[in-house]
Each structure stands twice: as C-alpha cells, then as structure tokens.
Amino acid sequence: MVKRTRGAQLLNNIALLQNLVRRDPNSYKDEFLVQYRHYLSQKEILSLNPANMPDPEAFSDLVGFLAHVSVCYPAETKTFPDDLGLLLTQHHTVLPVNLREKIVQSLVLLKNRNVISAERLVQILFPLLTTTNSKAFRKEIYNTIVRLLKHANRTAKAPKLNRSVQTLLFTLLESSDGSAAAPDGLWAARLTRELWRRSIWDDARSVEIMKQSALHGNSKVAMAGVIFFLSADREREKALKKRSGADDSSDESGSDSDSESDADTGYSRAKSATAAMKHRLELNKKSGKRARKLEAAVKSLRRKERGASNLETHLNFSAIHLLHDPQGFADRLFTDSLSRNSGNRFNLEQRIQILNLVSRLIGVHKLSLLALYSYILKFLTPKQRNVTQFMACAAQASHDLVPPDAISPVIRKIADEFVSDGVASEVAAAGINTIREILARNPLAIDADLLHDLTEYKGSKAKSVMMASRSLIGLYRDVAPEMLQRKDRGKIASMELSSGESNKLQFGKENVIDSIPGLELLEKWREEQEVAAESANGDVEGAEAKKNQEAAEDEEWKVHLSDSEDSEGGWIDVESDKEYNVSDDDNDDEDRDGEDADSDIEESNPAVSDVTDGQSAKRIKLDATQSLMATKFLTPADFRKLEELRTQAGVDKILHGPRSKPTTANEDAVEASSLLGPRTTKQDKEERVAAMLEGRKDREFGSKKGKRKDENPHSTTNKEKARKKNFIMMIHKRDVQGKSRKSLRDKQKTLKAGMDKQKKFNNKH
C-alpha cells in the first residue's frame, strides 16, 4: 500500500520524477514508461482534434519531461524528436501558444543534448518562417535560428551547418523569385544580414545570397539586398566598436588607456618621428611658425596613414570585395533596375540607392559600364530632386581606367549647370567639389582651359566656393602641376617640374612597386650608425676611407652595368621633331666612339640628357635596393625602424621637400553632404547667446587671488610684495606707472603746470 501510494505521487509530480530519473534511470524506468505511454495517447488525441485538446498544459508538461530524460532512454525515445517535428509542422497554426513554444524549446533542448543535430533542427524550424501567420511565433523562430548559428560558430566555424542553412536560403530565394504577393525571400535577406552584422557569416556564399537577393523579382527583396551592400559593413563596424567599447569599459586599468591610444596607427608610427622633430626644433632657433608647421605636417601624415589602415581593413572585410562576378552583377543591376526596359518597379529613392550601389561597384572593382555616364547626365541639373546624390554617384563611378572621353561630358555638364556667376554659392561649391572628386579618380578627364576657368574661383568672396577651387588647385599640384597656370603651381610643384621629378600622366599607367618602400632609408641609417660607431672608437679616417672605397666600387659597378647595357643595344630617347643624318657607311660608326656619340646627342638635345640622367639615377637606386633585398634578412626590429624612418622622412618631405604623390582610393564612398562644403547660416540672438553660454561651461571667471590664498596661504601678489620694498627702489617704477595710467587731460594739466613754473622761474631771474 505504501509502495502504490509512492508511485502515484511520483506520477502526479512530474518535476520530482524528472530529477529522480536523471539520477537513477534504471530504478525509475517503469515510471518513465507509464509517462511515455500517457504521452503517446495524448498525442493521438491531439492529432485527431488539435484545435480542441482537453488539457494542453498537461501535455506540455509531458513534452518537457520527455525532452529532459530522453537522453537516459535513447532506445525508447528514438521517435520522439520526429513526433515533435511532425506536430509542429502540421498543426502549428492551431496549436495553443504555450504548447507551441514548449515544443520549440524541447527541440532546442534535444539539440543541446546531442539527441538531434543542428541541421535537423534547422530543417524543422526554417519552413515555419514562411508558413506561419503568427508574428510572435515567427519572431521566436527567427531568434532561435540566429542563436543556434551563433552558438555553433562561437569557438570555430561550423561549415556543415552554415552550408546547409545557406542552401535553404538559396532555395527560398529561387522558389520565391517572381512572386510579388508573398516575398518569402525577404526572410533569407534578413537572416543573412543579421548574421553578417554579428560577424557570424563572413564568407563569399553569404555575399552570393545577398547578390541573388538584390537581383530578385520582388522589389522589397531586391532593396533588402541593395541596402545590405551599402550599409551592412558600416553596421558591422558599429557593432564591433560597441563590443570593444564594452570590453574596454569593463577594465579600468591604466594600461588599457595607453593601449587604446597606441591603437591609432598614425599616432603609433609617427610618435618617435615626432619626438625627433621636436627635439630638433628645440635645438634650433625657437619659432612659433616652425612649431605650427611641424604640428600640421604630423597631422597630415597621420591622416594619410589612418586612411591607408582603414582601406586595408575595408578591403579585407567589405562585402563588395567578396563578390564573384562584379561586372555581371553591375550589368544586371543597371539593365534590370535602371534602364528604360526595367519598368516602374522602383521609385526615385530606390533608384538612387541602386545607382549608388552600381557606382560603388564600378569604383571599387574598376569596372567598365559606359552607359551609366550617359544615364547620369539627364539628372545633373540644379532643379533635380536629390541632385547631390546623383553627383556623388557620378564621382564614385569614376576611376583611372575609364576613358576620359566618357567622363568629360559629365564634368562639362556639371560645370555648365552648376558653376557660374549667376548661381548661388552653395550650388557652385557643390559643382566644383563634385568635379574635384571625379578628377581625383581620373585626372585626365578635363582639359586645361576648363581647369583654368575653375581655378579662377579661388578669389571668390563665398568661402565655400573659394575653398572648393583651392582644393582643386591643391589636387593638381600633386598629380599634374603642368596643367595648372604658372601662378597656381606653387613653389614645390615648380621645383618638381624644373628638376624633372614630376611624371606626366598617362592613361592606363599604373605604378608598380618593385621593392620595399623606404628601404634605402634603412640602408643609409645603417651606414650612419657604422660610421658613428667607428668614429667613437677613434677610427674616423679608416671609416671614411672604407666608405670612399665602397663608393668607388659601386661607381665602377654602375659604369660596368651602363657599358654592358650600351653594348647590348638599349633604348635611346630622342625627340620626334628633330631630324638626324643617317649614313649608310659603316666606317662612320667605327670612327666615332660610343661615348662621344652619346655626348653629341646630349649636347644637341639637353632634354634628352636630363631624361637619361633621371632614368639612370632611378635605375641605380632600384639596383641598390634590389641588391639589399637579395643579400640581407630584415628582422622585426628592422621593419619597426623602417616604419620610423619612413614616417620621419614623410614629415621632412611635407615640411621642406616636394609633396608625396597621393594614392587615389576608389574604394572611398562619396557622401552627398560633403559636396556642399562649409555653410554658414545667420543666427538669431537666442542661438548666439546659447552658443556663447555653451562655450563658457568649463571656463573659470573672476579673480584667482582668493583661490591662491586657499591653496597656499603664504603666497602674495606682486603688488603686495612691492609695498614691502624700499621706497627709493620703487619710486621710478611708480612714476612710470603713474604716467602710463594718466589720461590725456591730466597730462595736459601737468605739462601746463610745468610751463607756468618755468615762466615764474625765468621772471624771477
């Protein structure tokens, strides 16, 4: 009787039975079987009439109990996961809310206990996203799938699970393509974008999913794909910064602040070079102008290095760079969404976003889509709505491999429509800034006459127009100073042109890096260190002799190289307009020596001699760096020193030498707001007072005399000290101070009194 009563209590208390079964499965197997048979009978009743189940809470408790103890009896519960999946798939629309949530939680628990695989769970839950009508249940399934993928890829990538889910997403997009009523493919785009933002998926297959989404027949699905390529990477960076900021705030040690400051690439590289420059400034004559120039040079170098580091990160993680066929993708987007045959599926705002994506693809991958520039021409008018966004797209779609003839009509249209004396200053500034952004990517797309007309706006009274014109002049001082007028080239660009260091721009020409940049600086620094060490040991003459001997050997080797190249028949640069006498007699060539012939050519044509000298110097420098790379191993310490020397040389070049050639980054997106330039609006009295009060927040007003007394009661002011000094020591100073404080009327009275006194003295005598 006692045993029967105990069994009835266990059957009624499922939570107690669950703990006992998990502790000793063999002893409580009979009680488990009773509960399992009860579950089977309730399941049959539910399958017959799912809408009117008599006791759904009891069945929900049975499902939770079996999910917890199924790992103890795998043979008896081998069909339990399939039964739950079948119930959820067939009757999820009529099941009670609590029971439906309990079944989903039980399936997740079975996956955590390794009873079912993660792929099987995704196959059960994923179809419910598009079939259920419950918004809350759809959100629960969506969050469950995201958490499942997050935990699976926490320590390492789960390629099998990721591939299976991505296959389901591809299938969903293909099956829903063309259906405008039910955009089921929208869930594929949403799920992929969320996983990309969380850095769970970062491979090319996920990018391919969004590519198919952008080419989808439904406008909502297509715009979800377009927005992904435009803003998903930005959202990802914000999420990473937010997580890193939370990690930094949790640690309050002072070393974190130092490491965070050193994380800035430009600061870490320019730190030692800046210290050296400041030390040099202290040794020389002190000047505020030099200090300001040094600070400006360091800031400029930091901006360039920060942009380069951001570009590298952008190239490694951007979704646009992981596209498989960017040319075909851009062609299909333009043909299906922007051309005349695409219909009216998209409104103006959506067309602008698609155009923004196409232009980004062209700029990043340097694609060729010449029809785009003629398409943009019709929107480049000041009365066009959102015209600055079309101008930004025109700038993004430019790169150095586009024929200049294709972009020059765009520049001419912008100059005619936006840049004139009869338009507002904001319009003219936007036009010149857009032209500058286009020319920064393709400098050959403008002729010299139009460039001269645009540079004449440097004297405009409008600040935004003046700054835009000067920025255009600064651009061409770096890339093509010969296209500017002589008065606009500046000192540094004129020196480069006169010395022959400026290379003329050519269409399709790319600079190839044959060695490590700045390697010659490291070699020069090593030589200086060796000479300094030998001079410290007292062997200065030996060091100089060794250095002269090495220089002589290098010169002999260079002469040998030049002779061998001349003997092999190298190229000789000549002028196309100059005529030369060519004789058929071979004896003329034998009578004249090769060196004399070269000297005659150089004397008759000085330009040829300058070019050959520059080319030989570049070739000798290249041979020296290549020999250094082939004969020596560079350690990590050498690379650190190389970065320091490059930074210091960059600062010196900005301060004293020619400017370094900027690298045009076509990956940079052009913001429409940046094209307008600085704008000044007239403020009313309330706004001016508010700005004035905001600037006074951290300032201290009033006399600091009382504060000094509180900090140090023994301190006195200069006026108090002067009272204790001897009167004879201070009489002159007081008279001078008194004269300086007198007003003009008092000075006149004093002067008149002095004159009257002098007259009285003269009358007496």
> With 0-12 CB in 10 A as exposed, 13-18 as middle and 19+ as buried, what is 562?
middle
Lowest mean pLDDT among 16-30, 230-244, 336-350, 490-504: 490-504
Per-residue pLDDT band at 715 (split at 50, 70, 90)? confident
pLDDT at 654: 58
Structure-model confidence comparison of residues 261 and 125, the more confident one: 125
User: For residues 435 and 454, is the Cβ–Cβ distance under 8 A?
Assistant: yes
Tell me what pLDDT residue 730 has: 72
Most confident residue range from 44-53, 90-99, 287-296:
90-99
Residues 632, 714 share a domain: no
- Mean pLDDT of the 160-175 span: 90
Identify whether 609 is part of a domain.
Answer: yes
Q: Where are the beta strands (DSSP E) in 551-617?
A: none
The confidence score (pLDDT) of residue 653 equals 60
Of 273-287, 532-546, 582-596, 712-726, minimum mean pLDDT range: 582-596
For residues 649 and 619, membership in a common domain is answered with yes
- Whether 372 has a pLDDT exceeding 60, the answer reads yes
If DSSP codes are grouped into helix, strand and coil, which group holds residue 459?
helix
Residues 622 and 717 in one domain: no
Q: What is the 3-state secondary structure (H, E, C) of 334-399?
A: HHHHHCHHHCCCCCHHHHHHHHHHHHHHHHHHCCCCCHHHHHHHCCCCCCCCCHHHHHHHHHHCCC
**Spatial separation of the C-alpha atoms in residues 460 and 455, rounded to whole Å:** 10
What share of the chain in percent tops pLDDT 90? 25
pLDDT single digits (tens) 434-492: 999 999 999 999 999 999 999 999 988 888 899 999 999 988 888 888 888 888 887 77
Whether 266 is covered by a domain: the verdict is no
306-315, 370-379, 719-728, range with the lowest pLDDT: 306-315
pLDDT of 166 reads 92
Residues 352, 490, single domain; the answer is: yes
CA-wise closest residue to 623 among 725, 761, 519: 519
> Which pLDDT does position 705 carry in this prediction?
60
Q: Rounded mean pLDDT of 154-165?
A: 90
Say if residue 640 is in the same domain as residue 719: no
Q: How confident is the model at residue 218 (pLDDT cuts 50, 70, 90)?
A: confident
Q: How many structural domains compose the chain?
A: 4
CB 653 within 8 A of CB 517: no
Worst-scoring range by mean pLDDT, 299-308, 470-479, 718-727, 750-759? 299-308
Q: Is residue 353 part of a domain?
A: yes
Q: What is the per-residue pLDDT across 399-427, written as a single tens digit (0 to 9) for each?
A: 989 999 999 999 999 999 999 888 888 89
Residue 348 CA, chain-centre distance (Å), reads 28
Q: Could you tell me which residue, 487 or 596, shows the higher pLDDT?
A: 487
pLDDT greater than 80 at residue 264:
no
Question: What's the CATH number where 345 sits?
Answer: 1.25.10
Please report whether residue 189 resides in a domain.
yes
214 and 84 co-located in one domain: yes
Do 40 and 182 belong together in one domain? yes
Average pLDDT, the chain: 76
Same domain, 483 and 525: no
Least confident among 660-669, 685-694, 716-725: 660-669
Count other Cβ atoms within 10 Å, centred on residue 34: 14
Would you give the DSSP letter of residue 456? G
Range with the lowest mean pLDDT among 255-259, 526-530, 547-551?
255-259
316 located within any domain? no
Which DSSP helix (H) or strand (E) runs through 636? helix 636-655
The 3-state DSSP class for residue 215 equals coil
Residue 305 has pLDDT above 80, yes or no: no
Residue 389 lies in a domain: yes
Residue 146 pLDDT > 60, yes or no? yes
Query: Picking from 252-256, 325-329, 552-556, which range would have the lowest pLDDT averaged per residue?
Result: 252-256
Would the CA dihedral through 665, 668, 673, 678 be positive or negative? negative
Give residues with Cβ within 8 angstroms of 611, minimum separation 6. 500, 573
Q: Which residues contact 660 (CB under 8 A, 6 or more apart)?
A: 650, 653, 654
599 against 482, higher pLDDT: 482
- Among 169, 260, 261, CA closest to 212: 169
What's the pLDDT score for residue 593? 46
pLDDT classification of 308: cutoffs 50, 70, 90 = very low
**Does residue 180 or residue 312 have the better pLDDT?**
180
Pair 357, 239 in one domain: no
pLDDT at 354 over 90: yes
Residue 694 has pLDDT above 60, yes or no: yes
Q: What is the mean pLDDT of residues 33-45?
A: 89
pLDDT of residue 419: 92
- 263 pLDDT tier (thresholds 50, 70, 90): very low
Residue 546 has pLDDT above 90, yes or no: no
Query: CB count, 10 Å around CB of 735?
Result: 10
Q: What is the pLDDT, as a whole number, of residue 226? A: 93
Residue 50 belongs to domain spanning: 2-244
CA atoms of 348 and 495, how far apart (whole Å): 50
Residue 423, domain member (yes or no): yes
Residue with the larger pLDDT of the pair 94 and 706: 94
Taking a C-beta distance cutoff of 8 angstroms, is the pair 445, 438 a contact?
yes
**CA end-to-end distance (rounded Å), the chain:** 151
448-486 as b/e: b if 16+ CB within 10 A: eebbeebbebbebebebbbbbbbbbbebbbbbbbebbee
On whether the CB atoms of residues 543 and 535 are closer than 8 A, the answer is yes
- One domain for residues 34 and 139: yes
Predicted local distance difference test score (pLDDT) of residue 542: 56
Q: Let me know whether 84 and 230 are in one domain.
A: yes
Two tokens at 629? 């790379």
The per-residue pLDDT for 315 is 39
Please state which of the ranges 473-487, 604-618, 681-695 shows the lowest mean pLDDT. Answer: 604-618
Q: What string of DSSP letters covers 116-165?
A: S-HHHHHHHHTTHHHH---HHHHHHHHHHHHHHHHHHTSSS--HHHHHHH
Give the span between the Cα atoms of 102 and 105, in whole angstroms: 5
| Mean pLDDT computed over 278-305 | 65
- Same-domain pairing of 532 and 408: no
- The C-alpha atoms of residue 543 and residue 549 are separated, in whole angstroms, by 10
Alpha-carbon span 567 to 356, nearest angstrom: 56
Q: Is residue 691 part of a domain?
A: no
681 pLDDT above the threshold of 70:
no
Residue 596 pLDDT > 50, yes or no?
Answer: no
